[in-house]
Structures are given as structure tokens and as C-alpha cells.
Structure 1
Amino acid sequence: MNIRPLFVVAAFAALVGCANDPAPIEQLRLSDRAVEQAKAVGATEEVTEMALAQTKLVEAHADLAANANKQARMQAEQAELDARLAEAKVLTAKSQEQLSQVDIRVNRLRKQVRDAQ
């Protein structure tokens, strides 16, 4: 019995198995949740990163349907990151607005204290 043909078949099967990326189902779930979370804090498509996240998520689902798993995974990962950035930008803007309001109140109180003296 010649082992060489068995070795070639086994090596080929291993290479084919490595070439097929698994479906990125969990990554798509994470990306879907990240987009929903960004929406929940107020991110809209007016935030550039949110628009990108939604576009990439649609592309990731289309790639998954076309069995382009590697491309689907990359698109889903990028969508998740874009959604998280959009969320961070919205939360930062809200924090800055609150800080501005507090600053206005502090200045008003300082003026009142000065005027009372």
C-alpha cells in the first residue's frame, strides 16, 4: 500500500477545510446589537459612522447569503466598530451639552453671588 496518495488526499482535504471560513453568525449578532444600541442612544444616519455601520451590516448579511463568509465577517466587524463609534460620538455630544448647561448655571450663580455682595 502506497501512503503517498493518502497523504496528498489528506493534505488537500485539510487545505480545503481551512479555505472555508465558518459563517459569522455570532459576529452578525454582535453587529446587529451594536447598531441597535447606537440607535437607542440617538445615533441616526446623520452621524456618518452610523450610516456606514448600517450600510456595512446590510452588505454583511448579503455576503452571508452569498456564502462569502470571510467578506461577511469583515463587513460585520467593520459595521460593529462604526456603530460603536457612532454611539460614542452621540454620547460625547450629549455629555458636552450637559457640561455646557452646568457651566452656564455655575456662571449664573457666580454672577448672583457677585451682585449680592
Structure 2
Amino acid sequence: MLLSALAGCVSDPAPTEQLRLTEQALAQAKAVGADAQIPELQQAADKLQLAQTAMADEAFKDARMQAEQAELDARLAEARVLTQKSETQLASLNAQIKRLRLQLGDLQ
């Protein structure tokens, strides 16, 4: 009896907060434009599903690890999308600057 009580104290608690953070990270990645074209987003969704399954099986340590990995994948997907958008904006601004320089050259 004492051993089972000690084992209960050692077991991991349910990672409900981590799952919430992971779901939030996935939603944020989708909000900035991440879609199925971003492999990390699909990886995050798959790992979240594994975490939810582990949670249902009360394998809380595995659930936490999968959820943490899913959160990181979702954040990477978000960063990739934001980087792509920044690079596109930068290319557009550089093209505008080039056009303006050509126009100014024609004026001189």
C-alpha cells in the first residue's frame, strides 16, 4: 500500500496546461497563414493528436513530451510563415527602390 502511494506521488500530473499552450500555438500559426504546405504545421498537428491519445490513456509523461514537441513545431511553422512574408515584403521594397532610382536617374 505504501509503495502504491509513493508511486502515485512520483507519476506525472496531467499536462492540461501544456495541451492548452500547444493548441494555442497551432491556432496562432494558422492565424498568420501556416497551412498544409508548411511541414512543421502538419507535424505539430500529428504530435498533438498523439499527445491527446496519450492523455486519454493516462500516459501523462508521453502526453507532455508530445505536446511540448508539437508546440515547438507549431512555433517553427509560424516563424517560417512570418519569415517568408518578411522576405516577400523586402523583395517588393527593393524592387520599388530600384524603380525609384531608375526614375531619379532619368530626371538628372
Is the TM-score greater than 0.5?
Answer: yes
Q: Give the TM-score range, shorter chain.
A: over 0.9
Whole-Å Cα distance in 2 between the matches of residues 65 and 31 of structure 1? 16
Q: Which residues of structure 1 form unaligned runs of 5+?
A: 1-7
Whole-Å Cα distance in 2 between the matches of residues 76 and 45 of structure 1? 19
Say if 2:73 is the partner of 1:82. Answer: yes
1:50 match: 41
Whole-Å Cα distance in 2 between the matches of residues 33 and 87 of structure 1? 12
2:99 match: 108
- Structure 1 runs (4+) greater than 3 angstroms displaced: none
Residues 60-95 of structure 1, C-alpha deviations (whole Å, 9 max, x = no match): 111100111000000000000000000000000000
Say if 2:6 is the partner of 1:14. Answer: yes
Whole-Å Cα distance in 1 between the matches of residues 100 and 54 of structure 2? 58
Identity of aligned residues (%): 52
Whole-Å Cα distance in 1 between the matches of residues 6 and 14 of structure 2? 18
Structure 1 position 46, deviation (Å): 1.3
**Residue 30 of structure 2, aligned match among 36, 39, 50:** 39
RMSD: 1.2
TM-score by length of 2: 0.94
- How many residue pairs were aligned? 107
Q: Which residues of structure 2 form unaligned runs of 5+?
A: none
TM-score by length of 1: 0.87
Structure 1 position 15, deviation (Å): 3.9
Whole-Å Cα distance in 2 between the matches of residues 65 and 16 of structure 1? 18
Structure 1 position 45, deviation (Å): 1.8
